[in-house]
Structure 1
Amino acid sequence: MSSTSDVLIVGSGAAGLTAALTLADRFRVTVLAKGALNEGSTAWAQGGIAAVLEPGDTFANHVEDTMVAGAGLNDRDVVEFVIGGAPAAIERLVRLGVPFETDGNALHLTREGGHSHRRIVHVADATGWAVQEALQRAAEAHPNITLLPDRVAIDLATSRHEERYSGAGTVWGVYAVERTLGHVELHTARATIMATGGAGRTYLFSTAPRGATGDGIAMAWRGGCRIANMEMMQFHPTCLYDLDVKNFLITEAVRGEGGRLVNPRTGHRFMPDIDPRAELAPRDVVARAIDAEIKRDGLDYVHLDISHMPAAFVRGHFPNIHEKLLGLGIDMTRQPIPVVPAQHYTCGGIVVDRDGRTDLPGLYAAGECTESGLHGANRLASNSLLECFVFGEACATDIAARWDTLPPVPAIRPWDESRVTDSDEEVVIKQNWTEIRRFMWNYVGIVRTTKRLQRAASRIRLLQEEVADYYGHFRVTPDLIELRNLIQTAELIVRSALQRHESRGLHYVLDWPGTLPDAVDTVLVP
């Protein structure tokens, strides 16, 4: 099937569903999901949502914490805009039925790294899952929202795909593969919102879900959008070290509630030696400290230990993590958790303004696939879901305000498969996927050098030629689409990293250890 609607949203997480619900009372909305509706990053978010709700806390405090974590690369106006919208976003979620933890009559607030106050509202240690369920339940109940799972977007449908060719660059929707039958569908709309999440699976170890392959970023780049700050890839300090379970996150709230990082060989708690905030330092500081500890002593992991806290307290605050670890033979109430850093969040992405507009007419974007100015050089903990809610609503509000100026969808050419055949060499896709993720981990990880980045760039050029040749000859499949987007995203990350001749926030390069006096975005122009 193909579809035509008023607004098309690619992505069914917090940003996409927030936009859909905001638009649906007035417009017909279609939401495409890459897999199941709840398979995106939102459902994986353990921590919570940052908002100024504690007595004595202020918006100015939250803004300053965000700017400090972002190493000054943030846009202060955007930071103020998002943080100012946090209490209203929380209130909307409460109305949708998200069962936030309470302490008496007030919401229970926890604290995470980089925050000067307790301001994280949460649902135990599974906030994202509860938020996803509430948003999805509301979207499924709305008659104006059509939810289409198992659609893998290939590329934007733009003016050059019109039956009467135009170079205007307007976006009219996307082409997407339907997973079950493998058919390519055309989904059109007068406005399109990209809410496709990040690019974590570019790396060998990542806390991101399987589908986080940078699809929206790559599609927007190919369509003509600027991409910014892709070198700012956040590595979460504490991912469970388990060779069979490579992406289970141990939430930052474990450190917020008293968890300590300890060298397993010496028993030494090392974070107080690195930063006065100890385990509550920003993620880039903690991740580099763990990385240095592991490399210096030849370790496989370090220990995260919260066993000194009462067992009932630990089980009550972290029931899901506790149960998962028990299944792996680890009782976190009695023994430490082996942890390593892993890629966690994509701080750069598609350049958008405060209304979520991109460089292309008709295309908006929200959430982790964007560079909005909120996160700067390092995302402050629990600001990510918040960005999704505020910018999802901002996109919807701007579309509604501009609706009468948006032109109707012209006739768009269908997908042309007349010159391709089915592939008999799927092994090529698996091999290239594995190679990309491994050299990105080794060469473009937590600590970088110019020589390593240049090696990565050289490998990327060769793989791009292979992938382009493969893409040109064979019928598209979900795996081929993801590989194409992975290699494009990897190139954007490495190009951005080579352009920044300083160490700032998440970008730490041994050749340029100092920080320049002025914070300047790395902007790539197609």
Structure 2
Amino acid sequence: MKTNFDVLIIGAGIAGLSQAIALTEKVVSLSIAIVSKSALKETNTRYAQGGIAAVMSTQSDSYLAHIEDTLNASQHKADKEVVSFVVENAHKGIHQLENWGVRFDQVQNDYHLGLEGGHSQARILHVKDQTGAAVHDELIKQLEHHNTISVLEYCEVVELLLNANGEAAGAWIYNYAEKATTKINSKTIVLATGGMGQLFQYTTNSPIATGDGIVLASTLGAKIANLHSIQFHPTAFRELGKSKLFLISEAVRGAGAHIINEKGERFLFKYDLRGELATRDVISSAIYQEIKTSGNDGVYLDCRHISKELLAHEFPYIIENCKEGGYDLTIQPIPITPAAHYSCGGIQVNMQGESSIPNLYAIGECANTGLHGNNRLASNSLLEAIVFTRNVANHIQNNVANLVYHPTETAKQTELSNEEPDFFKAETDVLKALLTAYFISKSENDKADLIEMVTYFKEQLSNIYSNELSELHFRWKLELVEMLLQNDSLNVEVSPVDEHKLQW
């Protein structure tokens, strides 16, 4: 295995792959390594159904409207300068993806634009209901044209390394196939490791979305910000016995789907005048309160009133997955539940993607750019990744030529064992349940229980010294939970609105 690279990119979703391609197109001679913890196609990007929000014509939409929608969804905690930059450059990101082979759905030679919750205009470009997979497939094809990009599949970074100057300069990587740890030297590191949905009891995230990059950066001393802002998606397909749930896109509600309770009532208007087109945080909170009030978990997505032809044309993938779970979306309500979906905060970066550690960049869901604030607007995630790709690529291009390899200040990494991957499964399940309960209830009692359990687990680990990879992973989970609790001003609970003010 080659061990010296100009750029080490950790993560292989839209952020990581587009970063590698953009860099190579700018500087053909750059040697780049992409580290993928699993198979190249196992990434959160592939689960992104709805699409990418972008103002492609100012005749029917406006930058200002998209900016205002983003700020409103963020509970006015987003950075307006960042929001404006991303929105105003969105069309450039779309054209970049098109140059790389992505073909967004069209109708009458124009983009077919979807409407999603929180958006005041239809502005969601998509490829049916599998936009993320379509984009990811084209990016993978692009890699074939660049022989200076090396893809390290089934490899996991277990430690980031600094050189004597305090700059990010390499990493220890565990290779699952070879069951060995290798040191990689690099001039620059880009973290594109995604979110941390797997910390929670129910999530729409990939099994590898465990927050590794955030922990690794924090260990180096990188600034972490807004980590408590975890977005729950309100319409995950609830299947008994499953924790990784299938996401039913926001676009289905945009097409007219209703959310109903056990009695068949549309209850969202009690909480927000926008009903099913309210933002994700509002709907998720309303669902939880409806469940709490009614005493049962019977909440459903109802598409029975929508044309079967429209559903079949726009959402074939969703229909297929629901059928596999025993439900026909076109003739019966689908059981749903909110599930951890997106990490709005993470490694603090500036407009060039730089973290507080020299030569360490972060992009995508693991980064806190300031775009999302407390709550991400639907379909702004893939957008953020592709727009920031350009900035990061420009900054690395301007600096990498002046960088040289410096020896990293570290002892040899202990050889790790992966013989018992579920060594801490029981403890992890308890941690997930307690963390989920707190994020849902916002109860001080639940918080106290969570803190007590984390303290107990850390005390137990203080007497355990093993080289099990599962132990390292569990320690990381505890660190992430502690970071989540350091800034836990969770989203304000939604209260029912005055019925006299409802507009039907």
Distance across 1 between alignment mates of 2:418 and 2:22: 42
C-alpha displacement at 1:421, in angstroms? 8.3
Tell me which residue corresponds to 1:15: 15
1:125 is paired with a residue of what secondary structure?
A: coil
Q: Residue by residue, what CA displacement relative to the aligned partner does 1:401-446 show, whole Å, maximum 9, x if unpaired?
A: 12244343336656332xx886887664212221211111122x23
Question: Percent of aligned pairs with the same residue?
Answer: 36
Tell me which residue corresponds to 1:433: 428
- Does 1:125 pair with 2:124? no
Distance across 2 between alignment mates of 1:421 and 1:248: 33
- Correspondence 1:153-192 to 2 at 5 A: 153-159=157-163, 166=164, 168-192=165-189
Task: State whether residues 185 and 415 of structure 1, in contact with CA within 8 Å, keep that contact through their aligned partners in structure 2.
Answer: no
C-alpha displacement at 1:381, in angstroms? 0.3
- Correspondence 1:21-420 to 2 at 5 A: 21-25=21-25, 26=27, 27-54=30-57, 55-159=59-163, 166=164, 168-246=165-243, 247-264=245-262, 266-410=263-407, 413=410, 415-417=412-414
- Does 1:442 pair with 2:437? yes
Root-mean-square deviation (CA), in Å?
1.9
Q: Using a 3 Å threshold, how does the CA distance of structure 1 residues 469 and 189 change in structure 2: closer, same or farther?
A: farther
Distance across 2 between alignment mates of 1:491 and 1:304: 35
Q: Which portions of structure 1, spanning 4 or more consecutive aligned residues, are displaced by more than 6 angstroms?
A: 423-426
Tell me which residue corresponds to 1:494: 485
1:386 is paired with a residue of what secondary structure?
A: helix
Q: Residue by residue, what CA displacement relative to the aligned partner does 1:214-246 show, whole Å, maximum 9, x if unpaired?
A: 100001111101111111110000111111444
Which letter does structure 2 place at the counterpart of 1:258? G
Q: Residue by residue, what CA displacement relative to the aligned partner does 1:363-383 show, whole Å, maximum 9, x if unpaired?
A: 000010011100001000000
C-alpha displacement at 1:508, in angstroms? 4.5
Q: Taking structure 1 as the reference length, what is the TM-score of the superposition?
A: 0.89
Q: Residue by residue, what CA displacement relative to the aligned partner does 1:61-100 show, whole Å, maximum 9, x if unpaired?
A: 1011000000111110111111112101111111222121
Deviates most, 243-252 or 283-292:
243-252
1:63 is paired with a residue of what secondary structure?
A: helix
Distance across 1 between alignment mates of 2:422 and 2:19: 39
2:194 is paired with a residue of what secondary structure?
A: coil
1:22 is paired with a residue of what secondary structure?
A: helix
Which letter does structure 1 place at the counterpart of 2:282? V
Q: Using a 3 Å threshold, how does the CA distance of structure 1 residues 494 and 411 change in structure 2: closer, same or farther?
A: closer
Q: Using a 3 Å threshold, how does the CA distance of structure 1 residues 99 and 349 change in structure 2: closer, same or farther?
A: same
Deviates most, 406-415 or 94-103:
406-415
Which letter does structure 2 place at the counterpart of 1:141? H
C-alpha displacement at 1:19, in angstroms? 0.9
Deviates most, 11-20 or 449-458:
449-458
Distance across 1 between alignment mates of 2:331 and 2:143: 42
Tell me which residue corresponds to 1:163: none
2:246 is paired with a residue of what secondary structure?
A: coil
Task: State whether residues 456 and 494 of structure 1, in contact with CA within 8 Å, keep that contact through their aligned partners in structure 2.
Answer: no
C-alpha displacement at 1:141, in angstroms? 2.6
Q: Using a 3 Å threshold, how does the CA distance of structure 1 residues 396 and 223 change in structure 2: closer, same or farther?
A: same
Which letter does structure 1 place at the counterpart of 2:383? L
Distance across 1 between alignment mates of 2:171 and 2:413: 14
Task: State whether residues 96 and 134 of structure 1, in contact with CA within 8 Å, keep that contact through their aligned partners in structure 2.
Answer: yes
Distance across 2 between alignment mates of 1:373 and 1:424: 40
Q: Using a 3 Å threshold, how does the CA distance of structure 1 residues 474 and 47 change in structure 2: closer, same or farther?
A: same
Unaligned runs of at least 5 residues, structure 2: 496-504
Task: State whether residues 168 and 188 of structure 2, in contact with CA within 8 Å, keep that contact through their aligned partners in structure 1.
Answer: yes
Deviates most, 139-148 or 277-286:
139-148
1:338 is paired with a residue of what secondary structure?
A: strand
Task: State whether residues 344 and 376 of structure 2, in contact with CA within 8 Å, keep that contact through their aligned partners in structure 1.
Answer: yes
C-alpha displacement at 1:327, in angstroms? 2.0
Q: Using a 3 Å threshold, how does the CA distance of structure 1 residues 423 and 261 change in structure 2: closer, same or farther?
A: closer
Q: Residue by residue, what CA displacement relative to the aligned partner does 1:338-392 show, whole Å, maximum 9, x if unpaired?
A: 1011110011100000000000011000010011100001000000001111122
Tell me which residue corresponds to 1:453: 447
C-alpha displacement at 1:188, in angstroms? 1.6
Distance across 2 between alignment mates of 1:428 and 1:260: 42
2:487 is paired with a residue of what secondary structure?
A: helix
Tell me which residue corresponds to 1:475: 467
Q: Using a 3 Å threshold, how does the CA distance of structure 1 residues 31 and 422 change in structure 2: closer, same or farther?
A: closer
C-alpha displacement at 1:469, in angstroms? 4.5
Which letter does structure 2 place at the counterpart of 1:47? G
Q: Using a 3 Å threshold, how does the CA distance of structure 1 residues 218 and 301 change in structure 2: closer, same or farther?
A: farther
How many residues are matched? 490
Task: State whether residues 186 and 414 of structure 1, in contact with CA within 8 Å, keep that contact through their aligned partners in structure 2.
Answer: no
Of 454, 457, 460 in structure 2, the residue corresponding to residue 466 of structure 1 is 460
2:471 is paired with a residue of what secondary structure?
A: helix
Q: Residue by residue, what CA displacement relative to the aligned partner does 1:261-310 show, whole Å, maximum 9, x if unpaired?
A: 1112x221111222111101011100011111111111223011111011
C-alpha displacement at 1:8, in angstroms? 0.5
Task: State whether residues 69 and 377 of structure 2, in contact with CA within 8 Å, keep that contact through their aligned partners in structure 1.
Answer: yes
Distance across 1 between alignment mates of 2:252 and 2:328: 14
C-alpha displacement at 1:484, in angstroms? 2.4
Task: State whether residues 169 and 408 of structure 2, in contact with CA within 8 Å, keep that contact through their aligned partners in structure 1.
Answer: no
Distance across 1 between alignment mates of 2:4 and 2:486: 37
Distance across 2 between alignment mates of 1:46 and 1:313: 16
Task: State whether residues 288 and 447 of structure 1, in contact with CA within 8 Å, keep that contact through their aligned partners in structure 2.
Answer: no
Distance across 1 between alignment mates of 2:151 and 2:197: 25
C-alpha displacement at 1:482, in angstroms? 2.7
Distance across 2 between alignment mates of 1:386 and 1:108: 17
Task: State whether residues 178 and 185 of structure 1, in contact with CA within 8 Å, keep that contact through their aligned partners in structure 2.
Answer: yes
